[in-house]
Structure 1
Amino acid sequence: MNGSFDEQRRVVAPLSDRFDRAGHRLYLVGGIVRDELLGRQVDTPDLDLTTDATPAQMKVLVDGVVDAVWLQGERFGTIGVRLEGRTIEITTHRAEAYTSDSRKPDVSYSMNLAEDLSRRDFTVNAMAVDVADGVLHDPHGGRSDLEAGLLRTPLDPEISFADDPLRMMRAARFVAGYGFTPVPGLVDAATNLADRMEIVSAERKCVELFRLLSLLDPGPGLALLTDAGLVGH
Protein backbone atom coordinates (compact mmCIF):
# COMPACT_ATOMS: atom_id res chain seq x y z
CA MET A 1 0.00 0.00 0.00
CA ASN A 2 1.34 3.43 -0.97
CA GLY A 3 1.43 6.57 1.13
CA SER A 4 4.58 8.68 1.02
CA PHE A 5 2.69 12.02 0.93
CA ASP A 6 5.95 13.69 -0.12
CA GLU A 7 4.37 16.06 -2.64
CA GLN A 8 1.54 17.15 -0.36
CA ARG A 9 3.95 17.72 2.53
CA ARG A 10 6.27 19.73 0.27
CA VAL A 11 3.45 22.06 -0.75
CA VAL A 12 2.31 22.60 2.83
CA ALA A 13 5.83 22.79 4.33
CA PRO A 14 5.93 26.62 4.57
CA LEU A 15 2.72 26.56 6.57
CA SER A 16 3.83 23.61 8.67
CA ASP A 17 7.10 25.35 9.56
CA ARG A 18 5.24 28.47 10.69
CA PHE A 19 2.72 26.48 12.74
CA ASP A 20 5.44 24.30 14.26
CA ARG A 21 7.46 27.31 15.42
CA ALA A 22 4.32 28.60 17.15
CA GLY A 23 3.78 25.29 18.94
CA HIS A 24 1.01 23.94 16.70
CA ARG A 25 0.74 20.97 14.35
CA LEU A 26 -0.80 20.58 10.91
CA TYR A 27 -2.22 17.30 9.63
CA LEU A 28 -3.39 16.16 6.21
CA VAL A 29 -6.85 14.61 6.55
CA GLY A 30 -9.73 13.31 4.50
CA GLY A 31 -9.86 11.78 1.06
CA ILE A 32 -6.29 12.70 0.15
CA VAL A 33 -4.98 10.39 2.90
CA ARG A 34 -7.30 7.54 1.93
CA ASP A 35 -6.62 7.78 -1.80
CA GLU A 36 -2.86 8.23 -1.43
CA LEU A 37 -2.68 5.08 0.69
CA LEU A 38 -4.67 3.24 -1.98
CA GLY A 39 -2.49 4.64 -4.76
CA ARG A 40 -5.55 6.08 -6.48
CA GLN A 41 -5.47 9.05 -8.81
CA VAL A 42 -6.57 12.12 -6.87
CA ASP A 43 -9.26 14.09 -8.71
CA THR A 44 -8.46 17.46 -7.16
CA PRO A 45 -5.24 19.19 -6.10
CA ASP A 46 -7.06 20.75 -3.14
CA LEU A 47 -6.00 19.75 0.36
CA ASP A 48 -7.74 19.50 3.73
CA LEU A 49 -5.77 20.09 6.91
CA THR A 50 -6.65 20.00 10.59
CA THR A 51 -4.80 21.70 13.43
CA ASP A 52 -4.87 22.45 17.14
CA ALA A 53 -4.63 26.18 16.37
CA THR A 54 -7.79 28.27 16.64
CA PRO A 55 -9.07 30.30 13.66
CA ALA A 56 -7.77 33.49 15.28
CA GLN A 57 -4.32 31.93 15.61
CA MET A 58 -4.47 30.54 12.07
CA LYS A 59 -5.11 33.97 10.58
CA VAL A 60 -1.91 35.23 12.15
CA LEU A 61 0.12 32.16 11.20
CA VAL A 62 -0.84 32.10 7.50
CA ASP A 63 -0.20 35.82 7.02
CA GLY A 64 2.73 36.38 4.69
CA VAL A 65 3.00 32.68 3.80
CA VAL A 66 0.05 32.13 1.47
CA ASP A 67 -1.12 33.85 -1.71
CA ALA A 68 -4.73 34.43 -0.62
CA VAL A 69 -6.98 33.88 2.39
CA TRP A 70 -10.73 33.19 2.64
CA LEU A 71 -12.56 33.68 5.92
CA GLN A 72 -16.10 32.61 4.97
CA GLY A 73 -15.82 29.45 7.08
CA GLU A 74 -14.15 31.08 10.06
CA ARG A 75 -17.18 30.76 12.34
CA PHE A 76 -17.12 27.01 11.67
CA GLY A 77 -13.42 26.81 12.48
CA THR A 78 -12.15 26.80 8.88
CA ILE A 79 -9.73 29.14 7.13
CA GLY A 80 -9.23 28.79 3.37
CA VAL A 81 -5.91 29.68 1.74
CA ARG A 82 -4.27 29.54 -1.67
CA LEU A 83 -0.71 28.21 -1.91
CA GLU A 84 1.19 27.07 -5.01
CA GLY A 85 -2.02 27.08 -6.99
CA ARG A 86 -3.81 24.81 -4.53
CA THR A 87 -6.83 25.62 -2.42
CA ILE A 88 -6.19 24.48 1.14
CA GLU A 89 -8.77 24.41 3.92
CA ILE A 90 -7.43 24.39 7.48
CA THR A 91 -9.88 23.48 10.21
CA THR A 92 -9.41 23.49 13.96
CA HIS A 93 -9.83 20.05 15.58
CA ARG A 94 -13.50 19.74 16.40
CA ALA A 95 -15.73 18.11 18.95
CA GLU A 96 -19.32 17.95 17.74
CA ALA A 97 -22.67 17.50 19.45
CA TYR A 98 -25.84 16.75 17.49
CA THR A 99 -29.49 17.38 18.31
CA SER A 100 -32.21 14.92 17.34
CA ASP A 101 -33.84 17.26 14.81
CA SER A 102 -30.79 18.29 12.78
CA ARG A 103 -27.75 16.78 11.07
CA LYS A 104 -25.90 20.07 11.58
CA PRO A 105 -23.74 19.81 14.70
CA ASP A 106 -23.07 22.30 17.42
CA VAL A 107 -19.34 22.68 16.91
CA SER A 108 -16.81 23.27 19.64
CA TYR A 109 -13.05 23.25 19.25
CA SER A 110 -10.83 20.49 20.54
CA MET A 111 -7.09 20.27 21.06
CA ASN A 112 -7.28 16.50 20.61
CA LEU A 113 -6.65 15.01 17.16
CA ALA A 114 -8.09 11.62 18.12
CA GLU A 115 -11.36 13.23 19.21
CA ASP A 116 -11.58 15.06 15.89
CA LEU A 117 -10.98 11.86 13.91
CA SER A 118 -13.59 9.95 15.92
CA ARG A 119 -16.29 12.32 14.60
CA ARG A 120 -15.63 11.48 10.94
CA ASP A 121 -17.88 9.27 8.87
CA PHE A 122 -15.80 6.12 8.28
CA THR A 123 -12.50 4.75 9.55
CA VAL A 124 -11.00 4.96 6.05
CA ASN A 125 -11.57 8.73 6.26
CA ALA A 126 -10.50 9.03 9.90
CA MET A 127 -6.73 9.08 9.37
CA ALA A 128 -4.32 12.00 9.51
CA VAL A 129 -0.73 12.55 8.41
CA ASP A 130 1.48 14.93 10.38
CA VAL A 131 2.86 17.34 7.79
CA ALA A 132 6.04 17.94 9.82
CA ASP A 133 7.23 14.35 10.20
CA GLY A 134 5.00 12.29 7.89
CA VAL A 135 3.68 10.09 10.69
CA LEU A 136 0.28 8.51 10.02
CA HIS A 137 -2.21 8.83 12.89
CA ASP A 138 -4.78 6.06 12.63
CA PRO A 139 -6.57 5.54 15.97
CA HIS A 140 -9.50 3.63 14.45
CA GLY A 141 -7.72 1.14 12.19
CA GLY A 142 -8.54 2.86 8.92
CA ARG A 143 -5.46 1.56 7.13
CA SER A 144 -6.28 -2.02 8.09
CA ASP A 145 -9.83 -1.51 6.87
CA LEU A 146 -8.48 -0.13 3.58
CA GLU A 147 -6.30 -3.18 3.13
CA ALA A 148 -9.21 -5.50 3.95
CA GLY A 149 -11.70 -3.51 1.87
CA LEU A 150 -14.01 -2.93 4.82
CA LEU A 151 -16.36 -0.03 5.51
CA ARG A 152 -16.69 0.74 9.21
CA THR A 153 -17.64 3.78 11.29
CA PRO A 154 -15.20 5.04 13.97
CA LEU A 155 -18.01 5.09 16.52
CA ASP A 156 -20.90 2.65 16.84
CA PRO A 157 -22.81 2.93 13.53
CA GLU A 158 -26.07 3.64 15.37
CA ILE A 159 -24.40 6.71 16.89
CA SER A 160 -22.66 7.79 13.70
CA PHE A 161 -25.74 7.47 11.49
CA ALA A 162 -28.08 9.01 14.06
CA ASP A 163 -25.74 12.01 14.31
CA ASP A 164 -25.59 12.51 10.54
CA PRO A 165 -28.02 10.34 8.54
CA LEU A 166 -26.46 11.44 5.24
CA ARG A 167 -23.58 9.13 6.14
CA MET A 168 -25.87 6.22 5.24
CA MET A 169 -26.00 7.46 1.65
CA ARG A 170 -22.26 8.05 1.69
CA ALA A 171 -21.85 4.42 2.73
CA ALA A 172 -23.60 3.40 -0.49
CA ARG A 173 -21.25 5.61 -2.52
CA PHE A 174 -18.14 4.13 -0.92
CA VAL A 175 -19.41 0.59 -1.41
CA ALA A 176 -19.98 1.31 -5.11
CA GLY A 177 -16.95 3.50 -5.74
CA TYR A 178 -14.32 1.61 -3.77
CA GLY A 179 -15.71 -1.90 -3.60
CA PHE A 180 -15.80 -1.81 0.20
CA THR A 181 -17.76 -4.43 2.11
CA PRO A 182 -19.83 -3.09 5.03
CA VAL A 183 -18.84 -4.66 8.34
CA PRO A 184 -21.52 -6.66 10.18
CA GLY A 185 -24.02 -4.35 11.80
CA LEU A 186 -23.49 -1.37 9.50
CA VAL A 187 -26.40 -2.08 7.14
CA ASP A 188 -28.58 -3.13 10.09
CA ALA A 189 -27.88 0.22 11.73
CA ALA A 190 -28.86 2.02 8.52
CA THR A 191 -32.08 0.00 8.37
CA ASN A 192 -32.93 0.84 11.97
CA LEU A 193 -32.31 4.53 11.36
CA ALA A 194 -33.80 4.92 7.88
CA ASP A 195 -36.45 7.30 9.20
CA ARG A 196 -33.67 9.69 10.28
CA MET A 197 -33.21 10.56 6.60
CA GLU A 198 -36.26 12.78 6.98
CA ILE A 199 -34.12 15.46 8.68
CA VAL A 200 -31.79 15.66 5.66
CA SER A 201 -32.71 18.28 3.08
CA ALA A 202 -33.84 17.13 -0.35
CA GLU A 203 -30.98 19.11 -1.88
CA ARG A 204 -28.32 17.26 0.12
CA LYS A 205 -29.89 13.88 -0.69
CA CYS A 206 -30.00 14.74 -4.39
CA VAL A 207 -26.33 15.75 -4.39
CA GLU A 208 -25.31 12.49 -2.73
CA LEU A 209 -27.50 10.41 -5.05
CA PHE A 210 -26.02 12.18 -8.09
CA ARG A 211 -22.52 11.33 -6.86
CA LEU A 212 -23.53 7.70 -6.53
CA LEU A 213 -25.19 7.53 -9.95
CA SER A 214 -22.14 9.19 -11.54
CA LEU A 215 -19.93 6.24 -10.61
CA LEU A 216 -18.92 3.65 -13.19
CA ASP A 217 -21.02 0.97 -11.47
CA PRO A 218 -23.49 2.40 -8.95
CA GLY A 219 -25.27 -0.96 -8.64
CA PRO A 220 -23.74 -2.14 -5.34
CA GLY A 221 -24.53 1.20 -3.74
CA LEU A 222 -28.11 1.19 -4.99
CA ALA A 223 -28.47 -2.35 -3.63
CA LEU A 224 -27.32 -1.14 -0.20
CA LEU A 225 -29.85 1.71 -0.26
CA THR A 226 -32.58 -0.78 -1.15
CA ASP A 227 -31.54 -3.40 1.40
CA ALA A 228 -31.41 -0.80 4.16
CA GLY A 229 -34.83 0.57 3.27
CA LEU A 230 -33.45 4.01 2.47
CA VAL A 231 -35.16 4.29 -0.92
CA GLY A 232 -38.16 6.56 -0.57
CA HIS A 233 -36.70 8.52 2.32
Structure 2
Amino acid sequence: MTKLSVNINKIATLRNSRGGNFPNVVQFAKDVQAFGAQGVTIHPRPDERHIRYQDAYDLKSEVYTEYNIEGNPIDKFVNMVLELKPTQVTLVPDAVDAITSNAGWDTVKNKDFLIDVIKEFKNHGIRTSIFVDPELKQIEGAKATGTDRIELYTEAFAHEFALGNKLAVKPYAACAELANSMGLGVNAGHDLSLDNIKFFKEHIPGLLEVSIGHALISESLYLGVENVIQMYLQKLG
Protein backbone atom coordinates (compact mmCIF):
# COMPACT_ATOMS: atom_id res chain seq x y z
CA MET A 1 0.00 0.00 0.00
CA THR A 2 1.17 3.52 -0.77
CA LYS A 3 1.39 5.61 2.40
CA LEU A 4 -0.58 8.83 2.74
CA SER A 5 1.26 11.74 4.35
CA VAL A 6 -0.97 14.75 4.99
CA ASN A 7 0.62 18.14 4.42
CA ILE A 8 -0.83 20.46 7.07
CA ASN A 9 0.52 23.78 5.77
CA LYS A 10 -2.97 24.99 4.82
CA ILE A 11 -4.12 24.57 8.42
CA ALA A 12 -1.31 26.89 9.49
CA THR A 13 -2.32 29.36 6.77
CA LEU A 14 -5.86 29.46 8.14
CA ARG A 15 -4.56 29.89 11.69
CA ASN A 16 -2.22 32.69 10.70
CA SER A 17 -4.96 34.59 8.90
CA ARG A 18 -6.58 35.45 12.23
CA GLY A 19 -3.73 35.19 14.69
CA GLY A 20 -4.09 33.09 17.79
CA ASN A 21 -3.89 29.33 17.63
CA PHE A 22 -7.10 28.18 15.98
CA PRO A 23 -7.17 25.89 14.16
CA ASN A 24 -4.40 24.24 16.13
CA VAL A 25 -1.87 22.60 13.83
CA VAL A 26 -0.63 20.17 16.47
CA GLN A 27 -4.14 18.96 17.23
CA PHE A 28 -4.87 18.66 13.52
CA ALA A 29 -1.76 16.51 13.07
CA LYS A 30 -2.91 14.29 15.91
CA ASP A 31 -6.36 14.02 14.37
CA VAL A 32 -5.25 13.06 10.85
CA GLN A 33 -3.09 10.32 12.32
CA ALA A 34 -6.01 9.06 14.39
CA PHE A 35 -8.10 9.06 11.20
CA GLY A 36 -5.58 6.76 9.50
CA ALA A 37 -2.98 8.94 7.79
CA GLN A 38 0.42 7.24 7.85
CA GLY A 39 2.42 10.45 7.96
CA VAL A 40 2.43 14.20 8.53
CA THR A 41 4.24 16.61 6.21
CA ILE A 42 5.18 20.22 6.83
CA HIS A 43 7.00 22.67 4.59
CA PRO A 44 8.32 25.67 6.54
CA ARG A 45 9.51 28.58 4.43
CA PRO A 46 11.85 31.40 5.49
CA ASP A 47 9.02 33.95 5.81
CA GLU A 48 6.97 31.48 7.91
CA ARG A 49 3.82 32.48 6.05
CA HIS A 50 2.16 29.21 6.96
CA ILE A 51 4.03 26.59 9.02
CA ARG A 52 6.40 28.26 11.45
CA TYR A 53 9.70 26.85 12.58
CA GLN A 54 8.29 26.62 16.11
CA ASP A 55 5.47 24.42 14.75
CA ALA A 56 8.10 21.95 13.55
CA TYR A 57 9.41 21.63 17.10
CA ASP A 58 5.92 21.46 18.63
CA LEU A 59 4.95 18.64 16.28
CA LYS A 60 7.99 16.48 16.98
CA SER A 61 6.56 14.75 20.05
CA GLU A 62 3.08 14.36 18.56
CA VAL A 63 3.82 12.77 15.18
CA TYR A 64 4.02 9.06 15.91
CA THR A 65 3.67 8.00 12.27
CA GLU A 66 6.17 9.31 9.69
CA TYR A 67 7.31 12.90 10.12
CA ASN A 68 8.32 14.47 6.80
CA ILE A 69 9.83 17.96 6.72
CA GLU A 70 10.15 19.59 3.30
CA GLY A 71 12.13 22.64 2.36
CA ASN A 72 15.04 24.38 0.73
CA PRO A 73 18.21 23.39 2.63
CA ILE A 74 19.29 26.87 3.71
CA ASP A 75 21.31 26.92 6.94
CA LYS A 76 18.33 27.58 9.24
CA PHE A 77 16.38 24.72 7.69
CA VAL A 78 19.31 22.29 7.87
CA ASN A 79 20.00 23.11 11.51
CA MET A 80 16.33 22.61 12.42
CA VAL A 81 16.14 19.23 10.68
CA LEU A 82 19.33 18.04 12.35
CA GLU A 83 17.90 18.99 15.74
CA LEU A 84 14.50 17.37 15.18
CA LYS A 85 15.63 14.26 13.28
CA PRO A 86 12.33 13.61 11.48
CA THR A 87 11.67 10.34 9.67
CA GLN A 88 12.36 12.01 6.34
CA VAL A 89 13.62 15.29 4.95
CA THR A 90 12.49 16.22 1.43
CA LEU A 91 14.72 18.74 -0.31
CA VAL A 92 12.82 21.27 -2.44
CA PRO A 93 14.53 24.08 -4.41
CA ASP A 94 12.04 26.79 -3.47
CA ALA A 95 12.66 30.31 -4.63
CA VAL A 96 12.14 32.81 -1.81
CA ASP A 97 9.18 34.40 -3.59
CA ALA A 98 7.52 31.18 -4.76
CA ILE A 99 3.86 30.86 -3.78
CA THR A 100 4.26 27.10 -3.81
CA SER A 101 6.81 24.61 -5.09
CA ASN A 102 7.08 25.00 -8.85
CA ALA A 103 10.11 22.98 -9.99
CA GLY A 104 12.27 20.05 -9.07
CA TRP A 105 16.03 20.05 -8.55
CA ASP A 106 18.49 20.05 -11.37
CA THR A 107 20.28 17.11 -9.79
CA VAL A 108 23.12 17.24 -12.31
CA LYS A 109 23.94 20.93 -11.89
CA ASN A 110 23.53 20.78 -8.09
CA LYS A 111 25.17 17.39 -7.61
CA ASP A 112 28.00 18.46 -5.31
CA PHE A 113 25.75 20.60 -3.14
CA LEU A 114 23.17 17.85 -2.78
CA ILE A 115 25.82 15.24 -1.99
CA ASP A 116 27.08 17.32 0.93
CA VAL A 117 23.63 18.08 2.34
CA ILE A 118 22.37 14.53 1.98
CA LYS A 119 25.48 13.09 3.58
CA GLU A 120 24.95 15.33 6.61
CA PHE A 121 21.33 14.25 7.02
CA LYS A 122 22.08 10.57 6.54
CA ASN A 123 24.90 10.77 9.10
CA HIS A 124 22.16 11.71 11.58
CA GLY A 125 19.91 8.81 10.58
CA ILE A 126 17.42 10.88 8.58
CA ARG A 127 15.94 9.42 5.40
CA THR A 128 16.41 11.76 2.46
CA SER A 129 14.27 12.51 -0.57
CA ILE A 130 14.82 14.92 -3.49
CA PHE A 131 11.97 16.73 -5.25
CA VAL A 132 12.46 16.13 -8.98
CA ASP A 133 10.78 16.73 -12.31
CA PRO A 134 9.80 13.56 -14.25
CA GLU A 135 12.96 13.42 -16.38
CA LEU A 136 15.18 10.36 -16.59
CA LYS A 137 18.38 12.39 -16.39
CA GLN A 138 17.20 13.91 -13.13
CA ILE A 139 16.55 10.46 -11.68
CA GLU A 140 20.05 9.37 -12.69
CA GLY A 141 21.43 12.56 -11.16
CA ALA A 142 19.51 11.92 -7.94
CA LYS A 143 21.03 8.47 -7.66
CA ALA A 144 24.50 10.02 -7.83
CA THR A 145 23.78 12.25 -4.81
CA GLY A 146 23.27 9.33 -2.43
CA THR A 147 19.64 10.15 -1.64
CA ASP A 148 17.35 7.41 -0.38
CA ARG A 149 14.30 8.49 -2.36
CA ILE A 150 12.96 10.87 -4.95
CA GLU A 151 9.66 12.74 -4.85
CA LEU A 152 8.12 13.13 -8.29
CA TYR A 153 6.71 16.61 -8.88
CA THR A 154 3.22 15.83 -10.15
CA GLU A 155 1.72 19.20 -11.10
CA ALA A 156 2.11 18.57 -14.85
CA PHE A 157 0.41 15.19 -14.54
CA ALA A 158 -2.50 16.63 -12.55
CA HIS A 159 -3.02 19.45 -15.03
CA GLU A 160 -3.03 17.18 -18.06
CA PHE A 161 -5.15 14.51 -16.38
CA ALA A 162 -7.82 17.12 -15.66
CA LEU A 163 -7.89 17.85 -19.38
CA GLY A 164 -8.41 14.18 -20.16
CA ASN A 165 -4.83 13.37 -21.15
CA LYS A 166 -4.12 10.10 -19.38
CA LEU A 167 -0.87 9.65 -21.32
CA ALA A 168 0.62 12.34 -19.07
CA VAL A 169 1.40 9.62 -16.54
CA LYS A 170 3.91 7.94 -18.86
CA PRO A 171 7.03 9.96 -18.00
CA TYR A 172 6.28 9.45 -14.31
CA ALA A 173 5.98 5.70 -14.77
CA ALA A 174 9.26 5.62 -16.70
CA CYS A 175 11.02 7.58 -13.98
CA ALA A 176 9.62 5.31 -11.28
CA GLU A 177 10.78 2.23 -13.17
CA LEU A 178 14.27 3.67 -13.49
CA ALA A 179 14.36 4.68 -9.84
CA ASN A 180 13.23 1.21 -8.77
CA SER A 181 15.95 -0.39 -10.89
CA MET A 182 18.58 1.76 -9.18
CA GLY A 183 17.35 1.14 -5.67
CA LEU A 184 15.76 4.56 -5.15
CA GLY A 185 12.47 4.79 -3.29
CA VAL A 186 9.67 6.68 -5.05
CA ASN A 187 7.43 9.31 -3.45
CA ALA A 188 5.16 11.79 -5.21
CA GLY A 189 3.33 15.02 -4.54
CA HIS A 190 1.79 18.27 -5.75
CA ASP A 191 -1.80 18.66 -6.99
CA LEU A 192 -2.67 15.03 -6.40
CA SER A 193 -6.33 14.73 -5.43
CA LEU A 194 -9.23 12.34 -5.01
CA ASP A 195 -9.89 12.74 -8.74
CA ASN A 196 -6.50 11.56 -9.95
CA ILE A 197 -4.78 9.65 -7.14
CA LYS A 198 -6.14 6.18 -7.95
CA PHE A 199 -5.11 6.40 -11.61
CA PHE A 200 -1.68 7.74 -10.70
CA LYS A 201 -1.05 5.06 -8.08
CA GLU A 202 -2.09 2.29 -10.47
CA HIS A 203 0.45 3.42 -13.07
CA ILE A 204 3.46 4.17 -10.87
CA PRO A 205 5.40 1.04 -9.91
CA GLY A 206 6.70 0.92 -6.36
CA LEU A 207 5.05 4.15 -5.22
CA LEU A 208 5.89 4.32 -1.51
CA GLU A 209 4.34 7.58 -0.36
CA VAL A 210 2.26 10.52 -1.52
CA SER A 211 2.20 13.87 0.24
CA ILE A 212 -1.10 15.70 -0.20
CA GLY A 213 -2.14 18.98 1.35
CA HIS A 214 -4.01 21.61 -0.66
CA ALA A 215 -6.43 19.24 -2.37
CA LEU A 216 -7.06 17.14 0.72
CA ILE A 217 -7.83 20.16 2.90
CA SER A 218 -10.03 21.69 0.20
CA GLU A 219 -11.94 18.44 -0.30
CA SER A 220 -12.40 18.20 3.46
CA LEU A 221 -14.35 21.46 3.49
CA TYR A 222 -17.13 19.59 1.68
CA LEU A 223 -16.68 16.02 2.84
CA GLY A 224 -15.02 16.19 6.26
CA VAL A 225 -11.41 15.39 7.15
CA GLU A 226 -11.91 11.88 8.48
CA ASN A 227 -14.03 10.88 5.51
CA VAL A 228 -11.56 12.30 2.99
CA ILE A 229 -8.61 10.51 4.57
CA GLN A 230 -10.51 7.23 4.41
CA MET A 231 -11.30 7.89 0.75
CA TYR A 232 -7.62 8.43 -0.03
CA LEU A 233 -6.61 5.31 1.86
CA GLN A 234 -9.14 3.27 -0.11
CA LYS A 235 -7.79 4.59 -3.42
CA LEU A 236 -4.18 3.98 -2.36
CA GLY A 237 -4.80 0.46 -1.07
Name the TM-score, length of structure 1 as normaliser: 0.31
Higher relative contact order (CA 8 A, sep 6+): 2
Larger radius of gyration: 1
